[in-house]
């Protein structure tokens, strides 16, 4: 399969890193195309868990080219730290990493703006990861105060920083925010980052277009999940990029017609971090049990994740939106021991039953989930290596999800290790 896209179909944290890591064996290039250091991917290798944020999950295979494409917002300090940590573990990061000269750069003012907006919004706060993601994308769209990776190597970089610091300073002063920005210090700091990142900076758009024309095997690695998509997610409780499948062409520069397979990643239940409606949330013992068993705490922010039953209305919407033609069902083992399991198959809204996902958060807050109850299983399933080895009830649960979403479940994960993955089709 020359060009494959892996995309989370829920609110992020679907354990995409594990699947991407497994699929990299069949690909030559792995591409991050949106988001930034708000993402947290965990890849478990030989019993050791690696937390990746900006780095594409293909980095563990030295023959794979990892690309941070134009649609990503880059925090240079965070990427450099990741590179150093990986190198410390003997992972090679050299010409196998390419960073787009078109990607936008996150600066200290973006962190301040993230904090300020969160405070101003009070109870309505989005609950961002505070990584400056939204403010950086805002500057990208606003254009005048944006800095792209390539700008850090231009002769006017210092003046650009000075000009932006002046403009931002005026805004902070008008908001009576106590923020001091030192243009010279920021310039020196970022000049240092630019120097260290220079060997990796490239025109990744041209690189990827050449690669697809040469029919090289490419894997697009989505960050966050499709329900957090800026255009199609649970707006405004979303991230600032296209985190559904539609983001891959825009963020990478590779036309959508080249993407031959989209693998939608879903957890066997739902989780969410930050604010926003979550119809199947279980703010009770069941949610707590899933959180503990699934270790549902943020990779990046360590926040406890909100947990609930599998929402097939939401996942069907994002599976269709992302063009998912196969599904990977993750963390099935977390549900072991629950006597019965619920799947939300429809919403009731104002006396009407619907399978469509509402556009407005107020409506999503008001929906009543319609549940189907399935029997659970008591066995531990971490050792299962085929569908046949799963308990009958687990197989039924998996099959029902595939049926409701209209895509086959081709991969089932029953534990964090690479070996705990079932690949055979139903």
- Give catalytic residues, as residue numbers: 13, 41
Judged by CB under 6 A, the stretch of 124-132, 333-341, 343-351, 358-366 that binds ligand IMP is 124-132
Minimum distance from CB of 235 to ligand IMP (Å)? 11
Instruction: From residue 103, give the alpha-carbon distance in Å to each of 15, 100, 313.
Output: 25, 5, 34
- Binding ligand IMP (rule: CB under 6 A), the pick from 70, 228, 313, 335 is 228
- Binding ligand IMP (rule: CB under 6 A), the pick from 16, 131, 291, 316 is 131
- Binding ligand IMP (rule: CB under 6 A), the pick from 96, 128, 234, 421 is 128
Our CB check for ligand IMP shows the closer of 15 and 161 to be: 15
If binding is defined by CB under 6 A, does position 274 make contact with ligand IMP? yes
Nearest alpha carbon to residue 218 among 208, 203, 232, 206: 208
Residue whose beta carbon is closest to ligand IMP: 274
- Binding ligand IMP (rule: CB under 6 A), the pick from 4, 9, 12, 415 is 12
Instruction: From residue 389, give the alpha-carbon distance in Å to each of 267, 378, 416.
Output: 20, 14, 18
Count of residues in contact with ligand IMP, rule CB under 6 A: 21
Counts for the chain of helices (H) and strands (E), in that order: 12, 20
- Binding ligand IMP (rule: CB under 6 A), the pick from 2, 127, 375, 382 is 127
Instruction: From residue 168, give the alpha-carbon distance in Å to each of 157, 182, 238, 351.
Output: 16, 11, 25, 49
If binding is defined by CB under 6 A, does position 134 make contact with ligand IMP? yes
- State whether residue 412 is helix, strand or coil: strand
Element (DSSP H or E) covering residue 106? none
Report the alpha-carbon angle 355-358-364, nearest 5. 105
If binding is defined by CB under 6 A, does position 307 make contact with ligand IMP? no
If binding is defined by CB under 6 A, does position 251 make contact with ligand IMP? no
Judged by CB under 6 A, the stretch of 130-138, 148-156, 195-203, 208-216 that binds ligand IMP is 130-138
Judged by CB under 6 A, the stretch of 120-128, 144-152, 186-194, 329-337 that binds ligand IMP is 120-128
List % helix, strand, coil for the chain (3-state, nearest 5). Answer: 40, 25, 40
- Binding ligand IMP (rule: CB under 6 A), the pick from 75, 239, 280, 282 is 239
Q: Compute the distance between CA of residue 372 and CA of residue 244 in angstroms, rounded to an integer.
A: 27
Site string for ligand IMP, 172-201 (x = CB under 6 A): ------------------------------
Judged by CB under 6 A, the stretch of 95-103, 153-161, 178-186, 222-230 that binds ligand IMP is 222-230
DSSP code at position 297: B
Q: Compute the distance between CA of residue 130 and CA of residue 127 in angstroms, rounded to an integer.
A: 8
- Binding ligand IMP (rule: CB under 6 A), the pick from 78, 224, 244, 407 is 224
Nearest alpha carbon to residue 181 among 194, 168, 163: 168
Residue written as token pair 């354990």: 15
Residue written as token pair 């926040």: 303
Contact residues for ligand IMP (CB under 6 A)?
A: 11-13, 38-40, 126-129, 131, 133-134, 223-224, 228, 237, 239-240, 273-274
């Amino acid at each position: 399969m020359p060009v494959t896209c892996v995309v989370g179909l829920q609110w992020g944290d679907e354990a995409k890193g594990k699947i991407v890591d497994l699929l990299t064996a069949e690909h030559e290039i792995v591409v991050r195309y949106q988001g930034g250091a708000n993402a947290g991917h965990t890849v478990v290798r030989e019993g050791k868990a690696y937390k990746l944020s900006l780095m594409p999950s293909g980095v563990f295979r030295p023959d794979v080219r990892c690309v941070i494409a134009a649609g990503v917002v880059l925090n240079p300090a965070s990427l450099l730290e990741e590179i150093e940590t990986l190198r410390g573990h003997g992972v090679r990061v050299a010409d196998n990493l390419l960073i787009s000269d078109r990607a936008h750069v996150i600066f200290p003012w973006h962190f301040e703006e993230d904090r300020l907006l969160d405070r101003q919004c009070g109870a309505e706060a989005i609950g961002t990861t505070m990584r400056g993601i939204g403010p950086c994308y805002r500057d990208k769209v606003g254009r005048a105060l944006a800095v792209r990776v390539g700008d850090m190597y231009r002769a006017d970089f210092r003046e650009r920083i000075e000009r932006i610091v002046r403009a931002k300073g005026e805004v902070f002063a008008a908001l009576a925010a106590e923020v001091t920005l030192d243009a010279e210090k920021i310039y020196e700091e970022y000049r240092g980052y630019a120097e260290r990142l220079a060997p990796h900076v490239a025109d990744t758009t041209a690189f990827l277009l050449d690669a697809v024309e040469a029919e090289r095997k490419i894997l697009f690695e989505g960050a966050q999940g499709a329900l957090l998509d800026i255009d199609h997610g649970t707006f405004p409780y979303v991230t600032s990029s296209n985190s559904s499948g539609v983001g891959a062409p825009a963020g990478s520069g590779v036309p959508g017609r080249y993407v031959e397979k989209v693998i939608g990643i879903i957890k066997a239940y739902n989780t969410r971090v930050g604010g926003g409606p979550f119809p199947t949330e279980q703010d009770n013992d069941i949610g707590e049990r899933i959180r503990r068993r699934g270790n549902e705490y943020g990779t990046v922010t360590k926040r406890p994740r909100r947990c609930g039953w599998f929402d097939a209305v939401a996942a069907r919407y994002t599976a269709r939106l992302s063009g998912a033609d196969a599904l990977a069902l993750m963390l099935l083992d977390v549900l072991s021991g629950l006597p019965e399991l619920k799947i939300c198959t429809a919403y009731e809204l104002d006396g009407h039953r619907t399978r469509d996902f509402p556009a407005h958060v107020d409506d999503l807050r008001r929906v009543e989930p319609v549940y189907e109850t399935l029997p659970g299983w008591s066995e531990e399933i971490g050792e299962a290596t085929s569908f046949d080895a799963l308990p009958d009830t687990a197989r039924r649960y998996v099959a029902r999800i595939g049926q409701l979403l209209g895509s086959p479940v081709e991969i089932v994960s029953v534990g964090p290790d690479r070996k705990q993955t079932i690949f055979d089709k139903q």
